[in-house]
Amino acid sequence: MRPAPTQLPKGARIYLPDEAGRKRHVEARLFDIFGRWGYREIVTPTFEFFDAIAVGTDQALQENMFKFVDRETGRMLALRADITPQIARVVATRLREEPKPIRLCYVTNVFRYDEPQLSHYREFYQAGVELIGLDQPEAEVEVIAMTVEGLRALGLRRFQIDVGHPDFFRGLMEEIKTDGAREREVRTALARKDLSTLERLVGELAPPAHVGDALLALPALFGREEVLERAAAFARNARSERALAHLAEVHRLLAIYGLAEAVLLDLGEARGFDYYSGTYFEAYVADFGAAVAAGGRYDQMLGRFGYDCPAVGFAFDVARALSVMEAQGVAIELPGPDFFIIDFTREKTAALSLARRLRDLGVSVARDIVSRGLEESLACARAQRVARALVVGSPRTRAGEMLVMDLADGTERMLEIRAALEAPEQLVGAGRKAGHA
């Protein structure tokens, strides 16, 4: 059977005007925050040579890339599946002489052959930043603070930033000296906080007693500041100790930023990309089962492109942010045009000059154009959430006059067209403009 012409490939998604308006709102709010923290936008190619894109990504992600062949060179191309390695490469090759730190931000689409899941599509949108050239814990704290600011700017409540450090776990595994397959099994069990499987694996691996105790304690090593103290008892190798010390410093700084309450420390969180080398965090919002934003430190990433330089970053998942806003009942105002001009005269000169004068003032103006009765035109304007209709040349208006109708409160008045053209500001007035800004 031929697919219906309306059918989209799996994981593709259309944003109709109202949905696109909400999406743009989220992106604009986040982008605005990035700008206010001093981040500058960077744009990278949607597709690149696969070999180049593969350098900074782990294998699981490489397998999930959309790939195709370059007609000119016959080489494999891939769609961007993660922007961070692209930015890391650009910094390593083109911006390495710039004074540090470098603050970059983006709003972009990303493509992955993931199974579509909770508000997650194969083409999805991310808004995020990279902060490059700082190894101080304050870098993590800056991006965590920005994440919190983003969650608040989107009107979200009841959120938690889950902060962990993969080196605590890596240090423990180094003490065991096990093979990669076994380590993955332990990590999978840990990622699911699956204590019974973890017990079985620890039994089979027979690690030193303090490491076994630590692995079994990991699923419960999350909570407030006291976690650091509990974890200290298990940290007997340099790597785990360093991870704890770093995390303690991040936590101390977060408290100074006034964010201690928003943060949950989680040493048992073994998720995230392999490229995270230090602090790793995810933002969770009540009523929604997946992380809305995530980020962390990836000090080895730029080194893969020949330039050793520490970096941190984070990104919001725009579609998930939209879903969670809906779940929490956050309203997004989507105003229609400020003015809708309905001109019944043949010449339409009034409509054209009014529209131009008003647009020059920075307000939005749509014209009716379709010939139909006034009521039908007004119904159309209301459906588009127009604030005011300007009616010229209808049976209700005299020559040289127009009717100004406020569609929100139903009031109307007559106005000389010439007066309106001379001083169009009087049409804009108060009220609507304020709500629109």
Partner 1 sequence: MKERLTLALPKGRLLDGALGLLRELGVDGVDAESRRLIFTDTRRGLRLLFLKPADIPAYVTYGAADLGIVGRDILLEQEPDVYEPLDLGFGFCRLVVAEPRELWERDDPAKWSWVRVATKYPRMAERYFSERGIQVEIVRLDGSIELAPLVGLAERIVDLVQSGETLRVNGLVEVAEIARSTARVIVNRASMKTEHAAVTGLIEEMRARTTKVGR
Angle CA(264)–CA(269)–CA(273) in degrees, nearest 5? 120
Q: With respect to partner 1, which residue has the nearer C-beta, 95 or 260?
A: 260
Nearer to partner 1, 109 or 197 (CB): 197
Q: How far is CA 236 from CA 226, 277, 324, in A?
A: 18, 20, 41
**Residue 271, both tokens:** 């998720």
Q: Is residue 6 involved in binding partner 1 (CB under 8 A)? A: no
Euclidean distance between CA atoms 389 and 366, whole angstroms: 10
Least distance to partner 1, CB of residue 307, Å: 35
| 287 φ/ψ sector (left φ>0, alpha ψ -120 to 50, else beta) | left
Q: At closest approach, how far in Å is the CB of 169 from partner 1?
A: 16
Shorter beta-carbon distance to partner 1: residue 75 or 224:
224
Q: How many residues does the chain have?
A: 437
Q: Is 117 in the site for partner 1 (CB under 8 A)?
A: yes
Specify whether the CB–CB gap between 297 and 312 falls below 8 A.
yes
Question: What is the SS3 assignment for 125-157?
Answer: EEEEEEEECCCCHHHHHHHHHHHHHHHHHCCCC
- Site membership for partner 1, residue 116 (CB under 8 A): no
Stretch that binds partner 1, among 41-49, 100-108, 193-201, 356-364 (CB under 8 A): 193-201
- Between 148 and 291, CB nearer to partner 1: 291
Identify the residue among 193, 367, 385, 433 touching partner 1 (CB under 8 A).
Answer: 193
Amino acid at 48: E
Q: Which of 191, 155, 163 is nearest to 324 (CA)?
A: 155
Q: How far is the CB of 161 from partner 1 (least distance, A)?
A: 9
Chain positions 309 to 328 lying near partner 1, rule: CB under 8 A, are: 327
Least distance CB 312 / partner 1 (angstroms): 21
Instruction: For residue 310, give both structure tokens.
Output: 């520490």
Distance CA 384, CA 342 (A): 14
- d(CA 12, CA 116) in angstroms, rounded, equals 9
- Cβ atoms of 218 and 143 within 8 Å: the answer is no
CB of 1 to partner 1, least distance (A): 21
Specify the DSSP element, H or E, that contains 190: helix 180-191
CB nearer to partner 1: give 82 or 266: 266
Q: Which is nearer to partner 1, 158 or 356 (CB)?
A: 158
Contacts (Cβ under 8 Å, ≥6 apart) of 216: 195, 198, 199, 202
Candidates 62, 64, 109, 160; binder of partner 1 (CB under 8 A) is 160
424: cis peptide before it, omega within 30°?
no
118 belongs to the binding site for partner 1 (CB under 8 A): yes
User: How many Å apart are CA 110 and CA 64, to the nearest integer?
Assistant: 12
The interface region with partner 1, picked from 121-129, 158-166, 373-381, 386-394 by CB under 8 A, is: 158-166
* Part in contact with partner 1 (CB under 8 A); list of ranges 279-287, 330-338, 364-372, 409-417: 279-287
Q: Is 380 in the site for partner 1 (CB under 8 A)?
A: no
Binding mask 73-102 for partner 1 (x = CB under 8 A): ------------------------------
Distance of closest approach, residue 132 Cβ to partner 1, in angstroms:
28
Q: Which of residues 196-235 bind partner 1 (CB under 8 A)?
A: 196, 219-220, 222-223
Q: CA of 373: how far to CAs of 120, 191, 201, 336, 387, in Å?
A: 45, 64, 77, 21, 19
Contact of 275 with 91, CB cutoff 8 Å: no
Site for partner 1 in 283-302 (CB under 8 A): 284-291
Residue with smaller CB distance to partner 1, 262 or 365? 262
Q: How many CB atoms lie within 10 A of CB 257?
A: 15
Q: Which helix (H) or strand (E) holds 210?
A: helix 209-217
d(CA 355, CA 235): 70
Our CB check for partner 1 shows the closer of 219 and 393 to be 219
Q: Interaction with partner 1 in 124-143: which residues (CB under 8 A)?
A: none
Nearer to partner 1, 75 or 158 (CB): 158
Which one of the spans 187-195, 235-243, 331-339, 340-348 is the region binding partner 1 (CB under 8 A)?
187-195
* 169 binding partner 1? (CB under 8 A): no
CB of 429 to partner 1, least distance (A): 44
Contact between 159 and partner 1 per CB under 8 A: yes
Residues that contact partner 1, how many (by CB under 8 A): 26
Work out which of 195, 330, 374, 380 binds partner 1, going by CB under 8 A: 195
Site of interaction with partner 1 (CB under 8 A): 117-118, 158-160, 162, 192-196, 219-220, 222-223, 264, 266, 284-291, 327
